[in-house]
A and B are shown apart, each in its own frame.
Chain A
Amino acid sequence: MKHVVKILSLLVAVSAFWIVLLQAAIVPQSHTLLLPIYFVVSLGCYGLLMVGIGIMQFPTCPQEAVLLNHVLSLPSFFLSYVVNIKSFLLTCFSCVLQDIAEAKDFLSTNGIDIGTY
């Protein structure tokens, strides 16, 4: 909320300054009317500049990349990853599997046979 108030007050101050400039006619009016567009364009340019500088300074972490490649190339890592996924999924759906088993038992006791899958 505080941020919104800050931004709104900044906007109000800038527009008040602009209206004062328009009324005072220190600079020709046609000139002053272009100011908001100028500020929007400069804001866009500033954003692009920050993005460009960020891209230039982004670190690539070469040591960590080597380590990660080494770890991923090991087959045991991949297999353990797959086994972990399987066990995780089994624990997630164990309740569902149990419900299915119970439903099957109930229905078979009542004379309805559901084939195995």
Chain B
Amino acid sequence: MELADRAVGLLLSSISLSIFTYYTFWVIILPFVDSDHFIHKYFLPQDYAILLPVFAGVTLLSLLSVFIGMVMLKSKKKKA
């Protein structure tokens, strides 16, 4: 259905845009702001700016490899 497609597309675009703006603020703008500004309350410590993407990337890679391994095992079982 067209409406459901558009809703899903809108949701995905908004999620990606929000992640991009939050991350840009976090990494680029925040280090130039004084450390006693109120905005620092809304952002996690800067160490997490590295940890979170690396963790997400590692999770993605491991999920992919698990999926590929399962597909390979299934195809081998079918052949045998």
The yes or no verdict on A and B being binding partners is yes
What residues of B have a CB within 8 angstroms of the CB of A60 in the complex?
1-2, 5
User: CA of A41 to CA of B57 in the docked complex: distance in angstroms?
Assistant: 10
A-B contact count, CB below 8 Å?
69
What residues of B have a CB within 8 angstroms of the CB of A30 in the complex?
31
B64 contacts chain A at the CB level, 8 A cutoff: no
- Sort chain B's interface into a size bin: 20 to 34
Interface centre among B6, B16, B17, B54 (most CB of A within 10 A): B16
Q: Would you call the interface of chain B mostly helix, strand, loop, or mixed?
A: helix
User: CA of A5 to CA of B63 in the docked complex: distance in angstroms?
Assistant: 31
Please give the distance in Å from A69's CB to the nearest CB on chain B. Answer: 15
- Sort chain A's interface into a size bin: 20 to 34
User: CA of A38 to CA of B19 in the docked complex: distance in angstroms?
Assistant: 11
What residues of B have a CB within 8 angstroms of the CB of A49 in the complex?
12-13, 16-17, 20
